[in-house]
Amino acid sequence: MALGAPPFSIDPLLATDATGMRFVSLTHQSLVKIGTDLKAAPDLAHKWTVLGDSYTFYIKKDTKFSDGSAIECTDLIRSIKSYKDPKCPFNRAFTPIVKESCSEDKDNNLILSLKLKEASAKFLLSDLPVLKIISKSQKGSGAFVLVDKKPTQYTLEPNTHSIKKLNYKLVFYFLKDDFSRFLKTYKGEIDIAPNSIPFEKVNSFKDTKFKILERPSLSTSYLLINFKNKDLSRLATRKLIYSDIDIPDLVTNRFDNHVTLAKSLLSPEHPYFSKELHSKNHKTAINTKAQSSPGIIRLKTSNSRQSIETGKIIAQKLRDKGMPIQVQSFEWGTFYRDIKMGQYDMALMKWVGVIDPDQYNVAFHSDEFPPGRNRGYYKNLKLDRILDEARVELDLRKRQKFYNMVQNTVFEDLAIIPLWHENQIHVVHPRVKNYKVNPMGDFTSLEALRITEEKL
């Protein structure tokens, strides 16, 4: 596998970046996971029941962690309490759990019962897949075990105690240079390049034996705004930025239509996407001369070539309109650390795998200021109230109405500058069989591969 950067963290309690969360899902199991149909699917729990605010999960008692120790009730309860700890960035999702208990039944199951403060339409699908069950010694029960960790390479081997009897290991190479990833893949040194080949190089594989798997994604690229910057905190400035970037031009000419215009964290194919957004834009008549000129704005990007080039293009478009922009690019770890610490003005970012509209709660509710994931420090008390009501609404029609209001409010206020939804493009060596692109863009299909001797 070829990736552009290593995960920021592979600690299940701290991994908030997309790559880190994908790695964790290979080594640890959740009670449930998100299936390819975007519905809750069995993971550690083989079945469950939901009755109002009460959830019951059934886990086979003979299930083991990767060190061979059996999963016990104490592991289940301790894991839940760890995620409820205020120091955990996911804690707000699990503090609604008011009681957790565990017992055994005559059918050799561990029975885990959770009671929430109130019924939730999104708890099962949006929250629980994040919660990993961890042993006292920090082991997981996933299909793989991390056996070697270097700055430029991670190696995972099959978990011999997993019910999935796999016979291949996974080696992830972290190649910062886009051309290096392309060249190593083209020469057959890489088997799978998931979303790591530059758009302009994808066509090079069309007349080869490589498989090019392309499908729409549930990811959204955007400019994160730091509302602590007094210039960017003004809506008029944000509207100018949105208008002057000319995003439709970038979609067509920069990305050759491998992306679609974004106005929401949700893609237009998402059932909760607000149809009202189609007609909305921010090409409003703003008297720029009447606005005070902003100071120099720092636009931070990661150091991948595509991110740097996109950042430079955006900056030049804004400079051409008289807005002073300085592009700063850093290796992924430094870049992500700066974002989490609020050390930026604008940042080129991506929300990956947006399944439930509650993602808006995570990204924009003022209760999610760092260490939570509202890293722009955006605060809108009206939006907070709508989000609070949406979180507990069980009627699907009313829930849709709430999230339409949420999407429209965030877009009208330009809490972020939405850019585009990228297609997923995975380039796969012909010797790899059964590889499929999951809608979430995660590593699920790495647990069901067949490796052959086929050559290029």
> What pLDDT, in 10s, does the model give residues 48-103?
999 999 999 999 998 999 999 999 999 999 999 999 999 999 998 999 999 999 99
Q: Which CATH superfamily is domain 144-215+424-451 in?
A: Periplasmic binding protein-like II (3.40.190.10)
Would you state the pLDDT for residue 288? 45
Q: What is the spatial distance between Cα 59 and Cα 109, in angstroms, rounded to a whole number?
A: 5
How far from the centroid of its chain's Cα atoms is residue 196's Cα?
Answer: 16
Q: Name every residue whose Cβ is closer than 8 Å to that of residue 353 and which is 6 or more positions away in sequence.
A: 18, 217, 218, 219, 439, 440, 441, 442
The whole-number average pLDDT for the span 161-180 is 94
Q: What is the spatial distance between Cα 27 and Cα 273, in angstroms, rounded to a whole number?
A: 33
Residue 283 pLDDT class (50, 70, 90 cuts): low
What fold does the segment set 29-130 form as a domain? Dipeptide-binding Protein; domain 1 (3.90.76)
Closest CA to 437 of 429, 426, 450, 422: 426
The whole-number average pLDDT for the span 303-330 is 93
- Quote the tokens at residue 146: 């991390």
Please, what is the angle between helix 305-320 and helix 235-245, to 10°?
A: 110
Cβ atoms of residues 128 and 41 within 8 Å: no
Residue 32 burial by Cβ neighbours in a 10 Å radius (0-12, 13-18, 19+): buried
Which of 30-44, 90-104, 249-263, 362-376 bottoms out in mean pLDDT, i.e. has the lowest? 249-263
Would you state the pLDDT for residue 319? 94
| pTM exceeds 0.85, yes or no | no
- Quote the tokens at residue 398: 């009313």
Q: What is the residue extent of each domain of the chain?
A: 29-130, 144-215+424-451, 220-422
Cβ atoms of residues 59 and 109 within 8 Å: yes
- The separation between the first and the last C-alpha atoms of the chain, rounded to the nearest angstrom, is 17
Query: Would you tell me how many other CB atoms lie within 10 Å of the CB of residue 289?
Result: 6
The whole-number average pLDDT for the span 413-437 is 95
Q: What is the 3-state secondary structure (H, E, C) of the chain?
A: CEECCCCCCCCCCCCCCHHHHHHHHHHCCECEEECCCCCEEECCCCEEEEECCEEEEEEECCCECCCCCECCHHHHHHHHHHHHCCCCCCHHHHCCEEEEEEEECCCCEEEEEEEECCCCCCHHHHHHHHCECCCCCCCCCCCEEEEEEECCEEEEEECCCCCCCCCCCEEEEECCCHHHHHHHHHCCCCCEEECCCCHHHHHHHCCCCCEEEEECCCCEEEEEECCCCCCCCCHHHHHHHHHHHCHHHHHHHHCCCCEEECCCCCCCCCCCCCHHHHHCCCCCCCCHHHCCCCCCEEEEEECCHHHHHHHHHHHHHHHHCCCCEEEEEECHHHHHHHHHCCCCCEEEEEECCCCCCCHHHHHHCHHHCCCCCCCCCCCCHHHHHHHHHHHHCCCHHHHHHHHHHHHHHHHHHCCEEEEEEECEEEEECCCEECCCCCCCCCCHHHHCCEECCCCC
Cβ atoms of residues 423 and 214 within 8 Å: yes
Residue 45 burial by Cβ neighbours in a 10 Å radius (0-12, 13-18, 19+): buried
Q: Name every residue whose Cβ is closer than 8 Å to that of residue 291 and which is 6 or more positions away in sequence.
A: 234, 236, 237, 240
Cβ atoms of residues 265 and 360 within 8 Å: yes
311 pLDDT higher than 80: yes
Q: Which CATH superfamily is domain 220-422 in?
A: Dipeptide-binding Protein; Domain 3 (3.10.105.10)
> How many CA within 13 A on the CB side of residue 152?
4
Over residues 320-356, the pLDDT tens digits come to 999 999 999 999 889 999 999 999 999 999 998 788 8
Would you state the pLDDT for residue 289? 43
Query: Would you tell me how many other CB atoms lie within 10 Å of the CB of residue 389?
Result: 14
Residue length of the chain: 456
Over residues 88-143, the pLDDT tens digits come to 999 989 999 999 999 999 889 999 999 999 888 889 988 999 999 999 999 999 99
- Quote the tokens at residue 387: 């989000």
13 pLDDT higher than 50: yes
Please, what is the angle between helix 381-392 and helix 396-413, to 10°?
A: 160
Would you state the pLDDT for residue 285? 43
